[in-house]
């Protein structure tokens, strides 16, 4: 499904930089569960924060990258 979305952007004339941004945004997040528990806890907090932000917008690209 992701390849079809990227191909659609390319056919519509999206610039290479835009396509790369979308590819990064569509890839699933990766979380390291083998690290020290204090680091893992911080990552879980960040994940919950991100999940909350994603629920407030219709498109991940609408998020403020600096938040």
DSSP labels, 37-52: HHHHHHHHHHHHHHHH
Select from 44, 24, 26, 46 the least CA-distant residue to 35: 44
Count of Cβ atoms closer than 10 Å to residue 54 Cβ: 13
* 11 pLDDT higher than 80: yes
pLDDT classification of 37: cutoffs 50, 70, 90: confident
Q: What is the DSSP letter of 58?
A: S
pLDDT classification of 5: cutoffs 50, 70, 90: confident
pTM value?
A: 0.38
């Amino acid at each position: 499904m992701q390849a079809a979305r990227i191909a659609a952007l390319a056919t519509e004339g999206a610039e290479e930089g835009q396509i790369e941004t979308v590819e990064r945004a569509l890839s699933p997040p990766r979380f390291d569960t083998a690290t020290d528990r204090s680091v893992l806890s911080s990552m879980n907090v960040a994940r919950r924060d991100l999940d909350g932000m994603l629920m407030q917008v219709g498109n991940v690209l609408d998020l403020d990258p600096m938040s």
